[in-house]
């Protein structure tokens, strides 16, 4: 795994230029899901975003890093000006949910709903509470750690015409836990954990019931 510290000059454009990194774009409705820290960086976030988008007929953009790569670029440096696909996604969508992964001690069951569109954050939070009652869904920004709030105007979740929200997911709800071993396998083993299915269904419901 590549774990060395990236030079300050390393940009989103540099990341996309790496042959092992892939961009994914699916245009459907004007509600969008994105996971630009996908693949080996914030694991399974691109599967969650893509799965919810497909189920809801929503749009999706993802950046996927391979298994041996772990390059983190700050969200505020994810610039649509250097990616035609990302620019197309931002222009196409009215609102967007960015899906991220995080891990903090004592917050293993906390789903954090940040972003500048607080109405959307509250709407998505309500759908996630229905889908995942065993988890704590937080949409009060004062209860979200400052670095995970997604309120900066350059954050991609805030770039669409209607703004958006940033969803931070702990490992457990993404199926990254030894408990996964107790559930039956399928052709797509990453999606066999029930909480992961419930999460995707909750996000899809949020997209389908949001009045654009």
In this prediction, residue 192 has a pLDDT band, given cuts at 50, 70 and 90, of: low
Nearest Cα to 109, choosing from 179, 39, 162, 205?
Answer: 179
Name the residue with tokens 């670095």. 147
Residue 183 has pLDDT above 90, yes or no: no
Which listed CATH number (3.30.1600.10, 3.40.50.300, 3.40.630.100, 3.30.70.20) goes with 12-209? 3.40.630.100
pLDDT at 191: 52
Q: Which residues pair with 166 in a beta bridge?
A: 98, 114
Who wins on pLDDT, 9 or 8?
Answer: 9
Distance set, CA 170 to CA 42, 173, 195 (Å): 10, 6, 12
Residue 9 has pLDDT above 90, yes or no: no
Residue 72 has pLDDT above 50, yes or no: yes
> Domain ranges in the chain?
12-209
Name the residue with tokens 């961009």. 23
Residue 53 has pLDDT above 80, yes or no: yes
Give the start-end residues of each E strand in 86-197. 95-101, 110-114, 136-138, 164-169
pLDDT at 193: 76
Q: Which helix (H) or strand (E) holds 18?
A: none
DSSP-derived 3-state class of residue 38: strand
In this prediction, residue 80 has a pLDDT band, given cuts at 50, 70 and 90, of: very high
């Amino acid at each position: 795994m590549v774990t060395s510290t990236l030079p300050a000059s390393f940009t989103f454009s540099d990341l996309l230029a790496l042959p092992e990194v892939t961009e994914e774009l699916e245009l459907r409705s004007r509600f969008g899901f994105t996971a630009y820290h996908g693949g080996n960086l914030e694991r399974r976030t691109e599967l969650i975003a893509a799965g919810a988008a497909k189920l809801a007929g929503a749009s999706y953009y993802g950046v996927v890093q391979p298994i041996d790569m772990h390059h983190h670029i700050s969200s505020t440096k994810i610039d649509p000006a250097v990616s035609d696909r990302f620019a197309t996604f931002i222009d196409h969508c009215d609102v967007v949910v960015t899906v991220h992964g995080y891990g903090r001690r004592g917050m293993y069951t906390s789903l954090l709903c940040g972003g500048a569109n607080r109405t959307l954050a509250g709407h998505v939070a309500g759908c996630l509470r229905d889908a995942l009652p065993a988890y704590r869904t937080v949409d009060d920004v004062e209860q979200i750690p400052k670095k995970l709030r997604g309120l900066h105007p350059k954050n991609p979740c805030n770039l669409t015409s209607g703004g958006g929200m940033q969803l931070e997911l702990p490992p457990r709800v993404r199926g990254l836990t030894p408990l996964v071993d107790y559930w039956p396998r399928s052709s797509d083993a990453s999606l066999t954990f029930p909480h992961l299915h419930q999460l995707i269904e909750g996000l899809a419901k949020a997209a389908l019931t949001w009045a654009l």
